[in-house]
Structure 1
Amino acid sequence: MIEEQGIIIALDGEFAEVRTQRRSACGGCVANGACGTSLIERLFGRRVTQLRALNEVRAGVGERVLVGISEAGLLSAALAVYLVPILGLVLGALVGTWMNGLLLNRSLDGSMADLPSVIGGLIGFLLALLWLRGYSAGSSKRPEHQVVILQRLH
């Protein structure tokens, strides 16, 4: 379970809106302050995130809570978000190149030679984003993708 602390800012039925401040991995590192990650954090600061979490512990507005999401849910969501658009782009470009050879039975000349690959890549990327939109809407109902309030903190 991936866990983070936050504060409840609103309630909505069995759900709560929780504001968290993302922690950096730099806190326990030996090279704290000497790497690129800590430099980026100093430049941009820590981001505040707002989550919709299942409130099974019935915590109230203003309470500090511990929220969590399963590792499997986070991993599958990360793979979908990072891998699917890249695959759509590459596969679209390959299909565009294949269609160019199939339909025209020859390749285009000069600067236009890569145009079918570019158009195919863009179409594949957009189709991947559309798929991702549906995946995101459907996955919010799956228990392994649901953020849950684990406990109240004092």
Structure 2
Amino acid sequence: MISERGRVVAEKGDQVWVQTIRETACQSCSARQGCGQRALASVTSGRANQILVENHLNARVGDEVTVSISESALLHASLWVYAVPLSALVTGAVLGQQLAPGSDSLAIVLASLGLGLGFWLVSRHQRTASSRFQPRLQGIENLP
């Protein structure tokens, strides 16, 4: 499980908005010099991120909570978001080159259509499997 601590900043029905700041984890990481996450945190100046999670623990505004997502769900979602559109783009470009050798225009058109199809497939898959990829509240931290 990949976990992050945050604070509940708002309630929305059966869900809560949790605010997290990733920059704190970068200070203790041994790979901080070559990490893209650290570069991203420095660009955003440690700006807080907010995520909407189901509130099955009855957390209230101001509570410190732990939010987590499984590694397999993150990997699966990453593959869908990156690999599916890229594969569809490459397939469209190769198909365009096969149908009209020497003409790049058909390859460009089919690559664009493939990319659009890939994004559409990701969007459709996200709607049907969204609960599997959602972070979950793991616990409420005891505050002194």
Q: Which TM-score band applies after superposition, normalised by the shorter structure?
A: 0.7 to 0.9
Return the letter of the residue paired with 1:21. I
Q: What corresponds to 2:129 in structure 1?
A: 139
CA distance in 2, matches of 1:73, 1:8: 23
Superposed CA offset, 1:71-129 (max 9, x none): 111110011111111101100101112222xxxxxx45xxxx21111111111001101
Q: Which runs of 5+ in 1 are unaligned?
A: 101-106
Shift in Å at residue 39 of structure 1?
5.4
Return the letter of the residue paired with 1:134. R
Return the letter of the residue paired with 1:148. R
Superposed CA offset, 1:22-43 (max 9, x none): 24663234465x5575555434
Q: How many residues align?
A: 141
CA distance in 1, matches of 2:97, 2:49: 42
Quote the sequence identity (%). Answer: 30
Q: Which runs of 5+ in 2 are unaligned?
A: none
Return the letter of the residue paired with 1:151. G
- Change in 2 beyond 3 A, CA 1:8/1:31: closer
Q: What corresponds to 2:113 in structure 1?
A: 123
CA distance in 1, matches of 2:112, 2:24: 34
TM-score by length of 1: 0.79
TM-score by length of 2: 0.83
CA distance in 2, matches of 1:54, 1:39: 30
Once superposed, what is the RMSD of the aligned Cα atoms? 2.2
Matches of residues 1-150 of structure 1 in structure 2 within 5 Å? 1-23=1-23, 26-30=26-30, 32=32, 34-35=33-34, 37=36, 38=38, 41-100=41-100, 107-108=101-102, 113-142=103-132, 145-150=133-138
